[in-house]
Amino acid sequence: MRYMLLLYTSTRTEMTDEERAEALSAYVTYTQECQERGVYLGADPLDDPDTGRTVRVREGERLVTDGPYAETREWLGGYFMLDCRNLDEALELAAKCPNALRGSVEVRPIREIAGRAEGS
């Protein structure tokens, strides 16, 4: 079953070059473990929330606002898409994700839709 691990962070602290290198190394190691288990489908970091736009259509008119819709201290920073045996494996891997140490990892199953090709 496919699961999306949504990586949230609540801080915007500047990292030293050494801290950044350590964080990158931790994510590379985590990604390699997911690949070796055969569950890795993809992952990407997201740019900061202030680079995003929120789109809504009201009464046929497109409305675009800068950044995320809600004021929040936490923001979505990236994701991993995994194909796990079950929820227990997805939760185990979420706990191993480096983001779980500084932020949070939301685990959500991908809803399968009958007649729809996987990944489309």
**pTM of the model as a whole:** 0.83
- What CATH number is given to the structural domain containing 19? 3.30.70.1060
Residue 9 belongs to some domain of the structure: yes
Start-to-end C-alpha separation, the chain: 16
> pLDDT tens for residues 57-99?
999 999 998 876 566 677 889 999 999 999 999 999 999 999 9
Percent helix, percent strand, percent coil in the chain, to nearest 5: 30, 35, 35
Residue 40 belongs to some domain of the structure: yes
Report the number of distinct structural domains present in the chain. Answer: 1
Domain that holds residue 11: 2-109
Residue 93 belongs to some domain of the structure: yes
